[in-house]
Amino acid sequence: MKFNAAARMDAFSQSVFAELTQLKKGKLSKGERVIDLSIGSPDLPPPDFVRQKLTDSIDQEDAFAYSLTGTSSFNEAVADYYNRSFSVAVNPDQEVLLLMGSQDGLVHLPLVLCNPGDYILVPDPGYPAYITSAMMAGANLYPMPLLAENNFLPNLADIPAEIIAKAKLMILNFPGNPVPALATPSFFEQVVAFAKKNGIVVLHDFAYSELYFEEKPISFLSISGAREVGIEMNSLSKSFSMAGCRVAYAAGNAEILKLLGQLKSNLDYGVFLPVQAAAAQALTDASNYLENNRLIYKRRRDLLVNGLKELGWEIDSPPASMFIWAKIPEGYSSTEFTLQLIEKANVVVTPGNAFGQYGEGYVRIALVQPEEQIMLALDQIKQSGILNSLE
């Protein structure tokens, strides 16, 4: 029997990450040493206090019941985190919504806000899930270019009036993936004014809020008026290395969260209760874990940036996130350079055009390997000769 996929599946082609994985597997099957700097998934384990809380919670008799929504402990932990970290008061009962990972919220929010034909304003380069979210809702995408000359902040004045008139949602991401830029208070103030004027909801993806090096990122909710126009989503995947736990939250506008919660009540039965307990423990932790975690990523960043500089490849040092957004040497496309690195150096990165048309000319390098592996990657790149013309 032949099965025909729905037409909407045309939008869900195999991702570049899957293609890179296949190339990597081919190398490994030949016994070659491959260093993967492509996937943005933490290689570090969660902190001990998270694992201990998870272990203890599993022994509770009601641990395996449906959670349905966020527990009061989890919601209060989110509110406590915002108060301590950003001096933002959040109502745990009305302004916090549990998510099964931030991607859960990112891909489902357009379903409650957008009709087919509406526009979603997205950063380009941007996280591929933003495209998925629009496709699922039948909405159109309008890419907002993130350019070096604008400090990788979108220029709202460049958005055509006819697009603004049809736009229902704007997605922002600072610090970003793949571009590790930081928003400024003045930029977020412009966003709030723009959203109010045009009746556009703002979603700020804040997944890398705790991975910064010199300057602390700004919460969108800390800006006056932000809660009137939008919400912020954050995940414990990156900050606390809890990627497989699939736990996150949305905070901000109560009406938007109520709509998203209404949709989710028809899609899932909540996050495993012990995972929520562990997440609450993480959010209320007062130890130096996050600072130590940042130091690990900072050492990796400095090692890789300085090492590539010594090889003749001058790239910008990112102020935050777990990525380096590296302008590639002239004479290559992003895809060509990525394939050359895999073929000649056995080092895997992600071509910038995988994140949108304005990613051409760059590659994303993830800081997801220990320092000894980064040193090996540098040596393999040096031995490959791919950068010889730059020295």
pLDDT above 70 coverage of the chain, percent:
98
pLDDT above 90 coverage of the chain, percent:
89
Candidates 3.90.700.10, 3.30.565.10, 1.10.260.40, 3.40.640.10; CATH matching 48-283: 3.40.640.10
Residue-wise pLDDT for 30-39, tens only, equals 888 999 999 8
What residue spans define the domains of the chain?
A: 7-45+289-390, 48-283
- Helix ranges restricted to H, the chain: 16-29, 48-58, 72-86, 102-113, 129-137, 161-164, 185-198, 226-229, 236-239, 254-264, 273-283, 289-310, 334-340, 371-384
Per-residue CA distances from 119 to 21, 166, 190, 199 (Å):
33, 6, 20, 12
Pairing of strands 248-252, 96-99: antiparallel
- Quickly state the pLDDT bin for 153 (edges 50, 70, 90): very high
Q: How far apart are CA 306 and CA 246, in angstroms?
A: 34
Judged against a pLDDT cut of 90, whether residue 16 lies above it is answered with no
Largest distance between two CA atoms of the chain: 65
Structure tokens at 65: 């019941």
The one-letter amino acid at 31: G
Residue-wise pLDDT for 230-276, tens only, equals 999 999 999 999 999 999 999 999 999 999 999 999 999 999 999 99
Per-position DSSP letters for 164-189, written without gaps between them: HTTEEEEEE-SS-SSS-----HHHHH
The one-letter amino acid at 76: E
Residue-wise pLDDT for 181-192, tens only, equals 999 999 999 999
**Which pLDDT does position 49 carry in this prediction?**
97
Query: Which letter does DSSP use for residue 264 in this model?
Result: H
Angle ∠(125,172,201) on CA atoms, nearest 5: 135
Q: Mean pLDDT, the chain, as a whole number? A: 95
Closest CA to 108 of 233, 276, 9, 229: 233
Q: Write down the pTM of the prediction.
A: 0.95
Residue-wise pLDDT for 85-131, tens only, equals 999 999 999 999 999 999 999 999 999 999 999 999 999 999 999 99
- Quickly state the pLDDT bin for 217 (edges 50, 70, 90): very high
The one-letter amino acid at 282: A
Q: What's the CATH code, domain 7-45+289-390?
A: 3.90.1150.10
**Which pLDDT does position 15 carry in this prediction?**
67
